[in-house]
Amino acid sequence: MSRKVAGRKLLLVNPVNSAKVGFSINLSSRFPPLGLGIVAALTPPDWEVELIDENFDRFRYREADLVAITAFTSAANRAYEIASIYRREGVPVVMGGIHASMRPEEAAHYVDAVVTGEVESVWSRILADAVSGALQPMYYGQLLNVADCRRPRREIYSAGYQFATIQTSRGCPLDCDFCSVTAFNGRRYRRRPPDQVLDELETIEAGLLFFVDDNIIGYGAPSRDLALQIFRGIVERGINKHWFCQASVNIADDPEVLEWASRAGCRMIFLGIEAEDDAALAAVNKRLNRKRGADAYELIFRRIHQAGIAVLGAFIFGMDGDTPDKLFRRADYIIQSGVDVMQCTAMTPLPGTRLFANLRRQRRLLFENFPRDWDRYSLTEVVHQPLDLSADELSEVLRTCMKRIYAMPVLKAKANQTLRETGRWDATEFAWQSNLNYREIAVAPTTFAAASLA
């Protein structure tokens, strides 16, 4: 049994996939584990709280009375491995986060208690049950009013993170086939009060910031007005930060929002473009993009550029209907488009999504020895059988496209484009560094490896 310390100690663990590097290869591609910071904030002061973050520190055993782990799908096995170490020592382990929420029965085989969904509604009960030795196998988090959300305890995070993170909303009504956000946070868009967000921003020391919301302006006029209050408040309070965020293409419809976002320090916006091809968008239920049409993309990019903001465009390779010719055209489009930063991933069916359920029902998943094969579900490996080409062909096409997209002459041309279109050196620097990060991921030897050779 583990040694009991004076008071009680909670150990938080942020595991990293040790089999592949993926998007954790770059320092600036890593972000603090916001959920664990919130758990720390929910924990009363009579508990000592420590974080092991494998983004920076390889795990080594620490004494604890309770261990809480979160994990993305590609790091689930590492989470289970660490959990087993503590369970052998008689230390109870709780696991939550996106993977455990999507695969609770699986996680229950490796930990003492599983938390599904948002943790705020159940954490105090978990602590009480742990103290009394009566942890339940499952705790079901409820979707609460986000105005009651705690600020994360940022002092537990490593000083090595280049970006701080903050959340202004939860939930997404769009429900794309490949996305598990709706399953985790619900379809109702819930916003925090602007003053609460601004007060938290004033406590963040880092000068670089990532708003983790899936769509920072949300949907509809009331949500748009709340986002605008945040942007104006940043300017009025003199909060001096450079930041990037995620949004849907509808952000380009509102020049006032873009103007105030830029004045507030926004230097880059992540847009889930996914494809320039309508059939590919239809295959993944990307309704908002289909409604606009690919022909509208350049106008969207131009409006964002006019506000002095760079565009990070996310694209997916391997959707149903994709052929080698279509994917080579997609690469050409990405290179020639007004997108400043290029994120390219293999279509990946993550658990909890309709895409995963459909492909599994169709027997098109290439790797189903779970949990072992979760290591492969990192967005950088072909893990399903495409419809119109083989998995090996898709892998080969991806590697060829990545060499073209991330060639240094292309990246330099993109940087010149960003400076010309935005007129801002800081937006250009954001875009340039981001492209270098994606290039390092894309050209890694294990990235987009052929399924038969992986």
What whole-number percentage of the chain has pLDDT above 90?
78
Cis peptide before 349 (omega within 30 of 0): no
30, 64 in Cβ contact below 8 A?
A: no
Stretch among 176-180, 233-237, 247-251, 352-356 having the lowest mean pLDDT? 176-180
Q: What does DSSP say about strands 66-70 and 242-247: parallel, antiparallel, or unpaired?
A: unpaired
Residue 301 to residue 310: CA distance in whole angstroms: 8
Q: What is the DSSP string of 124-160?
A: HHHHHHHHHT---SEEE-----GGGPPPP-GGGS-TT
- Given pLDDT bands bounded at 50, 70 and 90, which one contains residue 23? low
pLDDT of 15 = 96
Helix (H, G, I), strand (E, B) or coil at 167: coil
Reported as a single tens digit per residue, the pLDDT across 34-60 is: 999 999 999 999 999 999 999 999 899
Helix (H, G, I), strand (E, B) or coil at 391: helix
Query: Torsion over CA of 167, 173, 174 and 179, rounded to 10 degrees?
Result: 60
Residue 106 to residue 269: CA distance in whole angstroms: 36
Mean pLDDT over 135-150 rounds to 91
231, 263 in Cβ contact below 8 A?
A: yes
315, 330 in Cβ contact below 8 A?
A: yes
Reported as a single tens digit per residue, the pLDDT across 394-428 is: 999 999 999 999 999 999 999 999 999 999 999 99
Q: What is the mean pLDDT of the chain?
A: 91
Residue 336 to residue 437: CA distance in whole angstroms: 20
- Given pLDDT bands bounded at 50, 70 and 90, which one contains residue 26? low
Structure tokens at 433: 């560094």
Reported as a single tens digit per residue, the pLDDT across 310-354 is: 999 999 999 999 999 999 999 999 999 999 999 999 999 999 999
Reported as a single tens digit per residue, the pLDDT across 420-437 is: 999 999 999 999 999 999
CA of residue 393 relative to chain centroid, distance: 28
Amino acid 401 reads C
CA of residue 41 relative to chain centroid, distance: 21
Amino acid 387 reads L
Structure tokens at 229: 């209050």
Question: What pTM was estimated for this model as a whole?
Answer: 0.92
Largest CA distance in the chain: 65
pLDDT of 176 = 80
- Does 452 score more than 60 pLDDT? no
CB burial of 38-75 (b: ≥16 within 10 Å; e: otherwise) equals: bbbbbbeeebebebbbbbeeebeeeebbbbbbbbbbbb
Residue 369 to residue 372: CA distance in whole angstroms: 6
Structure tokens at 126: 């978990």
Q: What is the DSSP string of 358-388?
A: HHHHTT-BS---TTGGGGG-SSSS--B--SS
Reported as a single tens digit per residue, the pLDDT across 58-109 is: 899 999 999 999 999 999 999 999 999 999 999 999 999 999 999 999 999 9
Write phi, then psi, for 342 (nearest 5 degrees): -120, 110
